[in-house]
Amino acid sequence: EVQLVESGGGLVQPGGSLRLSCTASRFSFSRHWMNWVRQAPGKGLEWVANIRQDGSEKYYVDSVKGRFTISRDNAKNSLYLQMKSLRAEDTAVYYCARIGDCTGGTCFDAFDMWGQGTMVTVSS
């Protein structure tokens, strides 16, 4: 089955660190920009970070710059999010999401595949 599966979530104290993983199955992982999107309890979706196919470009939402690092290992079909200096406001379900293929030379920038999410709770 074509899918994305996140892991690594859990309970962490404020100031602590956590590393999320996302493993891709049955598609050409290395062809796609990959993203992390989060959703705080009862709140909307927030884009967190993304990374180019070869890892040469990375972008972050302002609230996580300097604290979170996105990376990937195309040989392992895996995406990662290293989170440090965690705050209560980082508490959320973290989703891994794929940007779909370009079609006929046009790139539509849509998140066409999502994982099931992994919960991160930052609390003492």
Partner 1 sequence: SSELTQDPAVSVALGQTVRITCQGDSLGSYYASWYQQKPGQAPLLVIYGTNKRPSGIPDRFSGSSSGNTASLTITGAQAEDEADYYCNSRDTTGNYYVFGSGTKVTVL
Which residue of 22, 50, 81, 120 would you call a contact of partner 1, by CB under 8 A?
50
Q: Does 117 bind partner 1 (CB under 8 A)?
A: yes
Longest CA span, the chain: 51
Q: Does 102 bind partner 1 (CB under 8 A)?
A: no
Q: Does 67 bind partner 1 (CB under 8 A)?
A: no
Which residue of 41, 44, 66, 105 would you call a contact of partner 1, by CB under 8 A?
44
Yes or no: say if 112 and 98 are a contact pair by the CB < 8 Å rule. Answer: yes
Q: Does 118 bind partner 1 (CB under 8 A)?
A: no
Q: Does 108 bind partner 1 (CB under 8 A)?
A: yes
Which residue of 32, 115, 120, 122 would you call a contact of partner 1, by CB under 8 A?
115
What lies within 8 Å, CB to CB, of 11 at 6+ separation is 121, 123
Yes or no: say if 19 and 80 are a contact pair by the CB < 8 Å rule. Answer: yes
**Rama region for 116: left / alpha / beta (φ>0; ψ in -120 to 50; rest):** alpha
Which residue of 111, 118, 120, 122 would you call a contact of partner 1, by CB under 8 A?
111
